[in-house]
Chain A
Amino acid sequence: METTPRLPEALRRAVREDLRPVRPLASPARRALAVLAWAPAALAAVVALLPLRPDLPALGWALSWGVLLVEVAAGAGLVALALAATIPGRGPGRERIALTLALALVLFASLAALARRASPGLTVPDPLVTKGATCMTLETVLGFTALAVVFALIVRAAPLRAAGAALLAGAGTGLMAEGIFRLHCPITDLRHVLVWHGGALVVLALSGLALGAVLERRARARMDERLAGRSG
């Protein structure tokens, strides 16, 4: 069909200069399990540094620890999908990424609504303001510790298109952080939960997207340099 192009000397040299044996990456699910190890450490930190919400008995096991497990597991699922997206030919397309993110938001909002039905929580004068910034900041910081780990795994895969993967990673770590932080915040008013806790999730997702975009831009700039070098 086609004649085989000659192997360019520059490419042969580049390969020869870095021909160390490499071990194939573990599957995305296995690497996501490594990120899952972050959850107990984060939970221990939250329990040690912050008081547990006083309405845990009213929520019951399912809506407290159960919801934590569901959100952490769903977040880890998003992280696994993010890591799959860094592998050529394995990643989800834009539509699937959008659908997955929408499902994650629906899950988060549904669990918040369930908790509200089970417990009125702490009543505060203005749920849109009181404790909002504190909750959002702490949850975002917590999520960033996980995002840093996942982003390191994304960089290791040297992806050409990292933005979608990093967006999923941000959303996944945001969901995991939300599940854990839920054990501390006693406010169940949906305005507080959706705006401030949902805000933390969105900030983490957008931070992932921004980090991925930077990675992509750097890869593109290096490619442009090489192409410009070849064309003289």
Chain B
Amino acid sequence: MSNGLERETRGGAAGAGRSLTDLMVAYQRGDETAFERLYGELAGPVLGYLRSLTRSAARADDLLQETFFHVHRARHTYDPGRSAKAWVYAIAHNVFLMSCRSARRLSRHEELAEEELPDVPVPPEAESLGTRDLVRRALARLPVDKREALVLHHVHGLSFQEVGAVQGVSGMAAKLRSHRGMVELRALLKDAGR
């Protein structure tokens, strides 16, 4: 898997010129600052990703902490030859799936979700299709696997290979999900515009 995406994220305020791979390696060696920088680089995007999955700001906040807790626990499973970004997003994906299995909490948050609809990231390709609020609502109505593929690729810049790794499917299947998601999103927005 390419590390190109990580190289692109260099130079962020928290990253201070170090790639995500460098930060992960330093973190594996016990560097606390590297963890803090990694959190600084990825917490925002991962929170946006979790919001798009959960459709609940409160639940996404909880799951963000859980994600980085598991990043810490499983830091020895990160392979420096692979994408750190995809590895962290895959942990977030697993944390989300685990949280879904807790029926009690799920029902509580789903109620909240319908009321709140937090400010989830909107794919740039979809911004021209309607107002931000309309796109956000249409996005929330997509099936979670398509929404996830679409958001990971178009908003978070993951390659389809990386999206597939996060979702546990092939890169081709991830591309298909994202494409179908975009088609459905356009149809929903078209309906809403009538």
- What residues make up the interface of A, taking CB atoms closer than 8 Å to B? 1-5, 7-8, 10-12, 14-16, 18-25, 27, 86-95, 157-161, 216, 219-220, 223-224, 226-227, 230-231
A1 and B43 CA atoms in complex are apart in Å by: 12
21 A–B pairs (Cβ distance < 8 Å), ordered by A = A7-B39, A7-B40, A7-B43, A11-B72, A14-B72, A15-B35, A22-B76, A25-B77, A25-B79, A88-B91, A88-B94, A89-B82, A89-B83, A89-B89, A89-B162, A157-B74, A160-B91, A220-B98, A223-B95, A227-B99, A227-B105
Q: Are B62 and A227 in contact (CB under 8 A)?
A: yes
- What residues make up the interface of B, taking CB atoms closer than 8 Å to A? 14, 28-30, 32, 35-36, 39-40, 43-45, 47-48, 61-62, 64-66, 68-70, 72-80, 82-83, 86-91, 94-95, 97-99, 101-102, 105, 121, 155, 162, 165-169
Q: Are B94 and A5 in contact (CB under 8 A)?
A: no
Quick one: closest B residue to A19, CB to CB?
B30
Q: Are B43 and A5 in contact (CB under 8 A)?
A: yes
* Given A22-B75, A216-B98, 4 other A-B residues pairs in contact with their CB atoms under 8 A: A1-B45, A16-B32, A94-B168, A158-B77
Q: Are A223 and B14 in contact (CB under 8 A)?
A: no
- Distance in angstroms from A31 CB to nearest chain B CB is 11
Q: Which residues of B contact A95 (CB under 8 A)?
A: 169
Q: Are A224 and B105 in contact (CB under 8 A)?
A: yes
- Which of B77, B99, B105 is the one whose CB lies under 8 Å from A88? B77
Q: Are A160 and B98 in contact (CB under 8 A)?
A: yes
Q: Are A22 and B28 in contact (CB under 8 A)?
A: yes
Q: Are B65 and A220 in contact (CB under 8 A)?
A: no
Q: Are A1 and B98 in contact (CB under 8 A)?
A: no
Q: Are A224 and B102 in contact (CB under 8 A)?
A: yes
